[in-house]
Amino acid sequence: MSDLPATVSVREVGPRDGLQNEAPVPTAAKVELVNALSTTGVRRIEAVSFVHPKAIPQMADADEVWQQITRNDEVRYSALVPNLRGAHRALGSGFKEIEVVVSASDTHNRKNINRSTEESLDDIAELVSIAHGEGARVQVIVSTAWGCPYEGDVPVERVVGVAARAIKDGADTISFGDTTGMATPGRVTALIGELRMGHPDVDVNLHFHNTRGAGLANVMAALQLGVADFDSSVGGLGGCPYAPGASGNVATEELIHMVEDMGVDTGIDLEAMIDAAATAERIVGRTLPSQVLRAGPRTRTTPA
């Protein structure tokens, strides 16, 4: 499959996007999970989110988690922030990579952070300026990029327009989030094609959920378009507290298993990631949806 990227960059989002949708787990367990992930070869980990504890109580101990993890110098750790206040907390804690979310759907944006999409974009412009002044990079995540649980389909032009505003205001990279697993390969192709018509050089990350079973198919479609930057979550942890039915990110070990077999390098040790998924499953106390966690890699054999 010579037309695929030779390598892809994977950002592990389980410690943030995964655990925020679970019952709160102890700080020590979160630290254990980040530390386990830091030894798998993954080079980017979304470690915490600086949100108000009343909004997402699962992330109330972000400062403690960040202080207690054993940091690997080869891993880039990032934090998600909802607004300027969160950005100041992240920058004050020493983060040099932050992500901020804005919904393409105005209804979802209001449900998520109690303001319109345009109001969020205004704040993001100021946030980007402040972060750059501190030597930090900002990724703007456009959520509900392939549909909204309240509004239904979101027009491609609307999604690209939100991304274009963020790019104009200085965003270093753009991510598109499939918040409720409404993407399909054809819709992925349409959105990426529309974006590249106006912004061919922008760095793009894609964040797929497997809510309707299309997560890896969407990854494959994006790979064929040359996209080489994906989010995934250990064990398939995750969802969205403000999007009904948004269960399950693409599982990191399933993503690795698929793309490595196609000759696309991730730099991640699959067996180590499966071990980390087992740790995540123990921490949350429930069976996680990852099939590779259950079955192991294709190359694993049983003695005759």
The residues assigned a catalytic role are 240
The encoded tokens of residue 298 equal: 């294709």
| Residue 20, Cβ density class (10 Å: 0-12 exposed, 13-18 middle, ≥19 buried) | buried
